[in-house]
């Protein structure tokens, strides 16, 4: 009821006032909630996280795409949407030219969990025959319990911390409110190394899902942006198989895998999304910058690079993660 939700909302707001607070990247402030920084200007606020923890109901057939911002969320959304819905948009053995991804931003096709659903056209999540697709930046340890209990599938994609920093830096200056001024790279670096980024620390976010994927390999698939770039075709096949939508031999022969890879490629999506807005003041093209691996080499000084290497080495000690 309205009364109950009003009560809960006030409770969350009260909690917020007790949390450590810092200046944000995209907005005035971010809060440290359950060990991670949540930005007020991010896709979901700390209040939204608390609300989804209290009331979100997962279904066993759901699929969750979990990421740290700027790690390949948009790409993974496009690929998953294209894989799961491929028979709906398949005409005469080739993906139809009126595929939603040829006119809609992947962020419209796959919503973020906890985000106000009024942002999304009703067409995307209503086919009751297909699983519900959601993305989330919520760290593993803070996921709503019903997601963990439902046994549904979670795909996590991560990216080299240095490239996450560079990507977030550019994204921030592109979309943040002009009143906040331009962020310098030094400023971005200082915040990042201290773990202060939306849903950071970066290393802890990654490690949480990495460990969970080792413990629950049937439910959690761990991918890296770098592997996806190196061998997109085989990783897309792996993704489809994990999701329970493996490509048939016939489809492979017909080139369906390659068509999906092409439809979701950086070049195609950048072209489709060069105009328009995702929502209110977020331009479509903000999610497609250059899509390269190791762009950090053009931004970090040797000293910055060494500092991040040290942190990464220490945080990932004993784990088999490489980029
Ligand atoms: P860069 O800023 O390095 O170019 P997210 O989707 O998590 O916000 O991550 C955005 C990053 O993914 C950006 O990186 C963006 O260019 C890149 N990206 C977006 N779509 C992509 C695609 N289809 N293939 C590869 N990279 C993509």
Per-residue model confidence as pLDDT tens digits over 8-20: 889 999 999 999 9
- Long-range CB pairs of 59-62 (<8 Å, 24+ gap) are 59/131, 59/132, 59/150, 59/152, 60/150, 60/151, 60/152, 61/131, 61/132, 61/152, 62/131, 62/132, 62/133, 62/134, 62/147, 62/150, 62/152, 62/153
Least confident of 108-112, 160-164, 222-226: 108-112
* C-alpha of residue 67 to centroid of ligand 1, in Å: 12
Distance CA 35, CA 157 (A): 20
Q: Whose CA is nearest to atom 26 of ligand 1?
A: 291
Atom 5, ligand 1: residue with shortest CA distance? 70
Is the Cα dihedral 283, 285, 291, 295 positive or negative?
A: negative
Please give the distance, rounded to the nearest whole angstrom, from the Cα atom of residue 273 to the centre of ligand 1.
12
Q: Angle between the 202-215 and 302-315 helix axes, to the nearest 10 degrees?
A: 30
Look at residue 322 in the predicted model and tell me its pLDDT. Answer: 85
Residue 271 CB neighbours (<10 A): 12
Distances (CA, A) of 276 to 107, 282, 284: 13, 9, 6
Q: What percent of the chain has pLDDT over 70?
A: 93
pLDDT at 265 over 60: yes
How high is the pLDDT of residue 123?
45
What is the mean pLDDT of the segment spanning 162-174? 97
Q: How far apart are CA 221 and CA 315, in angstroms?
A: 21
How many CB atoms sit inside 10 A of residue 231's CB?
11
pLDDT at residue 69, as a whole number: 97
Candidate of 112, 289, 292 to mutate for ligand 1, largest count of ligand atoms within 8 Å of Cβ? 289
Phi (first) and psi of residue 158, to 5 degrees: -120, 170
Looking at residue 180, its pLDDT comes to 94
For residue 228 the two structure tokens come to 């996806």
Could you tell me the CA-to-CA distances from 314 to 22, 127, 207 in Å, in that order?
A: 25, 45, 12
Q: How far is the CA of 134 from the centre of ligand 1 (A)?
A: 18
* Cα–Cα distance measured from residue 42 to residue 23, given in angstroms and rounded to the nearest whole number: 13
Structural contact between residues 121 and 298, judged by C-beta atoms closer than 8 angstroms: no
Express each pLDDT in 289-315 by its tens digit. Answer: 999 999 999 999 999 999 999 999 999
Average model confidence (pLDDT) across the chain: 92
Q: Under a CB-based contact definition with an 8 Å cutoff, are residues 225 and 159 in contact?
A: yes
138 vs 205: CA distance, rounded Å: 9
Q: How far is it, in rounded angstroms, from Cα 80 to Cα 63?
A: 9
d(CA 296, CA 286): 18
Among 120, 89, 94, smallest CA distance to 107 is for 120
Q: Give phi and psi for 91, each to the nearest 5.
A: -120, 135
Residues in the chain: 323
**Between 1 and 168, whose confidence is greater?**
168
Ligand 1 neighbours (beta carbon < 6 A): 67, 69-75, 163, 167, 170, 264-266, 269, 287-291, 295
pLDDT in the model for residue 153: 98
Mean pLDDT of 23-39: 96
**Closest Cα to atom 2 of ligand 1:** 167
- Residue from 42, 65, 70, 185 to probe ligand 1 pocket by mutation (most atoms less than 8 Å from CB): 70
Of the residues 99, 107, 129, 137, which is catalytic?
Answer: 137
Going by pLDDT thresholds of 50, 70 and 90, the confidence category of residue 116 is low
Answer yes or no: 137 catalytic.
yes
Taking 70 as the threshold, does the pLDDT of residue 209 lie above it?
Answer: yes
* Ligand 1 center to 291 CA (angstroms): 5
Query: What spacing in Å lies between the alpha carbon of 224 and ligand 1's midpoint?
Result: 12
In this predicted structure, what is the pLDDT of residue 196? 98
Pocket test for ligand 1, best of 81, 205, 286, 287 (most atoms within 8 A of CB): 287
């Amino acid at each position: 009821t309205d009364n109950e939700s009003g009560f809960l909302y006030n409770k969350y707001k009260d909690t917020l006032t007790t949390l450590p607070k810092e200046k944000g990247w995209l907005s005035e402030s971010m809060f440290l909630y359950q060990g991670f920084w949540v930005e007020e200007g991010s896709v979901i606020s700390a209040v939204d996280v608390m609300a989804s923890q209290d009331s979100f109901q997962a279904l066993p057939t759901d699929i969750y795409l979990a990421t740290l911002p700027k790690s390949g969320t948009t790409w993974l959304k496009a690929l998953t949407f294209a894989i799961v819905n491929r028979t709906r948009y398949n005409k005469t053995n080739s993906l139809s030219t009126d595929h939603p991804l040829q006119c809609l931003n992947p962020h419209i096709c796959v919503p973020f969990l906890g985000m106000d659903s009024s942002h999304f056209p009703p067409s995307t999540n209503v086919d009751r025959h297909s699983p519900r697709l959601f993305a989330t930046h919520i760290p593993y340890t803070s996921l709503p319990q019903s997601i963990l209990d439902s046994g549904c599938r979670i795909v996590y994609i991560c990216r080299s911390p240095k490239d996450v920093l560079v990507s977030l830096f550019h994204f921030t200056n592109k979309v943040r409110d002009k009143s906040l001024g331009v962020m310098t790279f030094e400023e971005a670096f200082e915040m990042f190394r201290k773990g202060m980024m939306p849903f950071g620390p970066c290393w802890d976010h990654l490690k949480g899902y990495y460990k969970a994927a080792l413990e629950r390999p049937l439910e959690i698939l761990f991918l890296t942006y770098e592997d996806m770039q190196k061998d997109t075709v085989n990783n897309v096949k792996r993704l489809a198989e994990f999701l329970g939508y493996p490509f048939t031999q016939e489809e492979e022969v017909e080139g369906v895998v390659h068509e999906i890879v092409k439809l979701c490629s950086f070049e195609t999506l950048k072209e489709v999304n060069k105009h328009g807005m995702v929502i209110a003041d977020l331009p479509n093209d903000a999610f497609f910058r250059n899509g390269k691996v190791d762009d950090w080499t053009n931004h970090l000084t040797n000293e910055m690079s060494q500092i991040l290497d040290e942190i990464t080495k220490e945080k990932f000690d004993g784990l088999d993660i490489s980029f």
